[in-house]
């Protein structure tokens, strides 16, 4: 489980990011001491949250030279299933 509570994006707290809660899980089966199979489920409940969020001024080609202050973010990946075979030799 990963939880980020609301947190300021600017020093004066005028811009605040919302909270996010993500759950992931792993199941492991060990064949022997050197071989195991892992099943990972990331973002178990398929939550639509931001993985990371910033607030800054950016400018596109057709925008004013002063730019536009705005929230910039990277959304969390959707539910993902990963199967991994690990062997040590």
C-alpha–C-alpha distance, residues 52 and 24, integer Å: 17
Percent of the chain with pLDDT over 90: 96
Residue 72, pLDDT score: 96
Instruction: Scan for tokens 């607030």, then name that residue.
Output: 55
Tens digits of residue pLDDT in 51-68:
999 999 999 998 889 999
Q: Global pTM?
A: 0.77
C-alpha–C-alpha distance, residues 53 and 8, integer Å: 10
Looking at the DSSP assignment, which residues form a beta bridge with residue 3?
A: 21
Output phi, psi for 12, to 5 deg. Answer: -95, 5
- What secondary structure does DSSP assign to 23-36, as a single string? --EEEEEEEETTEE
Q: How far apart are the first and last CA of the chain?
A: 32
pLDDT band at 2 (very low <50, low <70, confident <90, very high): very high
Are 72 and 53 a contacting pair, CB within 8 Å? yes
Domain borders along the chain are 2-87
């Amino acid at each position: 489980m990963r939880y980020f509570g609301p947190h300021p994006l600017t020093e004066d707290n005028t811009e605040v990011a919302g909270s996010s809660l993500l759950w992931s899980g792993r199941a492991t089966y060990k064949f022997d001491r050197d071989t195991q199979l892992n099943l990972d489920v990331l973002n178990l409940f398929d939550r639509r949250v931001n993985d990371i969020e910033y607030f800054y001024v950016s400018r596109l080609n057709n925008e004013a030279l002063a730019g536009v202050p705005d929230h910039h973010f990277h959304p969390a990946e959707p539910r993902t299933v990963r199967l991994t075979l690990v062997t040590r030799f």
